[in-house]
Structure 1
Amino acid sequence: MKSNAQEKHEIRPGQSLELLKELHILTRDGKMNQDSRRKLKQVYHLYQFIEPLMQEVMNAQSRVSLVDHGAGKSYLGFILYDLFFKPMLASAEADSPARASKIYGIETRDELVERSRELAQRLAFPGMEFLNLSVAESTSSQALPEQIDIVTALHACNTATDDAIEFALKKKARYMVLVPCCQAEVAAELRKTKGDAVRNNPLSELWRHPIHTREFGSQITNVLRCLQLESHGYQVRVTELVGWEHSMKNELIIAEYKGQKSGKAARRLAEILDTTGLQSLEKRFFTQLA
């Protein structure tokens, strides 16, 4: 069992212990169990990817807005605010643009939205706002500004990741941080069109057997998403989340808007949809020709 000193060493400097207790990562006497330790490690790992993106935006315009889709209990949002927003706002002048910085948590479960609102108020985190919306609803919601700097969607199930991408494209997001999950839609389409695809495409052997259909469907979904993002002018990096060994859904997609829309990516995406029998998904994986 770890000592208090060892557990404190795992917590980042400046991290509010009171926040970690409210999030039930720490017990009231400051202890962590194995599950809490893993959860904190995961959020800190994500923070390492997101913090430099927030800093880039701050350097460019002195304020940052971030939308976290499928926020759940908002572990990520609260820790981002505690470690990055709170120190920044503490040193900002009263009329500084930094005061306009904001984190929006989007979540459909009303009890989690209310709990997060109460916690933000209790901790005096004025730059956090929580909205009871689906990812799809948020795209047209008047409660969100026209432009958002960073969009995150962590384990947004099935098509919710694609809805988050559509949201980010509409909001002209500079960065997207996506951890896709449960990509069932493409696998279902592959099963429906399997007969024709198997006859016409020898590569369809990759998804002929049911277990391969599921795995290939998950893989190709993220490939299509990356091509879609590139077609809209984003530079895409795909990596793995360490510390998420308990979940097979540990692929991390980071996209940065560069403005160079790729016609090649758009054409390649269309070709893949055609050769795999997925033409019905053209609307979901919409592209922007250069």
Structure 2
Amino acid sequence: MEDKEAIAKELRSSKEFLNAIALNIEQAGDDRDVKKFNEVVGFCEQIIQIIQTYQIDKEVVFLECSCGKSYLSFAINYILSKRFSINTIFYGVDINQILIKKCNQTKDNLGYQNMHFINDRIINVQIEKPVDIVIALHACDIATDEAIAKGIKLGAKYIAVVPCCQNQIRNRLKIGHPLVNITDFGLLRYRFADILTEALRAQFLTGAGYYVKFTEVTSPKFTPKNLMIIARRKKGSKKYNMDKYKNLDEMFHTEFILQDYFSGYELR
């Protein structure tokens, strides 16, 4: 099993690569890039563990949702090319046209012909190949839910996301649920909304036929938003069983956004 220290050392060893993706971790006072670097390292650690389950001759297709500058895909591509004899293809999608243009320039500068970047909404993007692994690192607010929904619809074998802000249900927790005596208090409501949001996402994924686990992508000293959801699609039945998700959703009257992406689907 790989550890974060070994991955960080390997990435740090290529200043040319880090400069190409504009991750300036050696620059004094640039805490934001150091934070991002540690998040990427932790994410790479989890992806390596997933890739170790694949056959050597298997082509693995990634879709990074809300990719931004795509530090994550570039780093995963770099690490996997050094460690494994597998063919990989990366797609990145973002609604920011300027960032997509920058990603395309970066991949050309690095000579990464296995990377493609698309200016579109996550839920609308069309991918030419079957997607194996959907990834997202701090896709803001409902962009994480779009990534999860897209992964389910694509039948991705793995969906790995590190959520960012959880704003959707916070204001809905003020009244009308069993734990109102806790959520009367603003800070407790804020923190409980985070937990409930991730529980809803996990139960939705479970109901859609995935095994789900949680882990920490990096130390909380780098970011409090360090919770990572890793979902692996079960073999066999593709029927949905949303009982646990619906019970949770109805208990707190959340009308959670994930279900909106499945209008017309039979979510039982």
Aligned-partner Cα distance in 1 for 2:128–2:53: 20
CA RMSD of aligned residues (A): 3.0
Distance 1:43 1:278, change over 3 A: closer
Structure 2 Cα separation of the partners of residues 13 and 279 of structure 1: 42
SS at match of 2:101: helix
Aligned letter for 2:156? A
TM-score when normalising by structure 1: 0.78
| 2:105 equivalent among 109, 112, 118 | 118
Distance 1:235 1:281, change over 3 A: same
Distance in 1 separating the partners of 2:158 and 2:40: 18
Aligned-pair identity (%): 25
Q: 1:127 to 1:266 in 2, by over 3 A?
A: same
Within the alignment, does 1:65 sit opposite 2:65 as a pair? no
Aligned residues: 259
Please say which of residues 252-261 and 14-23 is displaced more in the overlay: 14-23
Per mean C-alpha deviation after superposition, the further-off stretch among 213-222 and 122-131 is 213-222
CA distance, structure 2, for counterparts of residue 182 and residue 263 of structure 1: 30
In structure 1, distance between residues paired with 2:208 and 2:240: 11
CA distance in 1, matches of 2:198, 2:242: 15
Amino acid of the structure 2 residue aligned with 1:12: E
Contact 1:231/1:288, CA 8 A, preserved across alignment? no
Three-state SS of the structure 2 residue aligned to 1:184 is coil
If you compute each CA radius of gyration, which structure gives the higher value, 1 or 2?
1
Partner of 1:127: 114
Structure with the higher fraction of residues in helix conformation: 1
**Residues 124-163 of structure 1 aligned to structure 2 (within 5 Å):** 124-138=111-125, 141=126, 144-145=127-128, 147-163=130-146
Q: Which amino acid aligns with 2:112?
A: F
Instruction: Mark the runs of 5 or more structure 2 residues left unpaired by the alignment.
Output: 1-5
Whether contact under 8 Å (2:61, 2:129) holds in the other structure is no
Query: Which residue of structure 1 lines up, in the alignment, with residue 49 of structure 2?
Result: 52
Query: Is the counterpart of residue 78 in structure 1 residue 54 in structure 2?
Result: no
Superposed, 1:204-243 pairs within 5 Å as: 204-243=180-219
The AA in structure 2 aligned to 1:269 is Y
Secondary structure, in 3 states, of the residue corresponding to 2:198?
helix
Structure 1 distance, partners of 2:38, 2:137, is 15
- Structure-2 residue corresponding to 1:11: 9
Note the alpha carbon deviations across 1:183-216, whole angstroms, 9 max, x for none. 111113334xx1xx15xx3x32232223322221
Structure 1 position 281, deviation (Å): 5.3
**Pair 1:280–1:48, CA change in 2 (3 A):** closer
| Contact 1:231/1:261 (<8 A) preserved | no
Q: Deviations over 1:142-169 (max 9, x none)?
A: xx13621000111111111111111001
CA distance in 2, matches of 1:184, 1:128: 32
CA gap of 1:244–1:271, structure 2 versus 1, over 3 A, is same
Larger mean Cα displacement after TM superposition, 181-190 or 65-74: 181-190
Q: Secondary structure at the match of 1:215?
A: helix
For 2:146 and 2:225, locate their aligned partners in 1 and report how far apart those are by CA, in whole Å.
Answer: 18
Post-superposition offset of 1:50:
0.8
**3-state SS of 1:117 partner:** helix
Q: Look up the equivalent residue of 2:75 and give its one-letter code.
A: I
Which consecutive unaligned segments of at least 5 residues does structure 1 have?
1-7, 93-97
Amino acid at match of 2:111: A
CA distance 1:271–1:262, change in 2 (3 Å)? farther
Residues 1:186 and 2:183 are matched in the alignment? no
Which residue in 1 is equivalent to 2:3?
Answer: none
Provide Cα deviations, 1:128-154, integer angstroms capped at 9, x if missing partner.
00111122332xx3xx13621000111
State how far apart, in whole Å, the 2-side matches of 1:75 and 1:85 are: 15
After TM superposition, the structure 1 stretch with the greater mean CA deviation from structure 2, 204-213 or 114-123, is 204-213
The verdict on how the C-alpha distance between 1:280 and 1:149 changes in structure 2, with shifts beyond 3 A counting, is closer
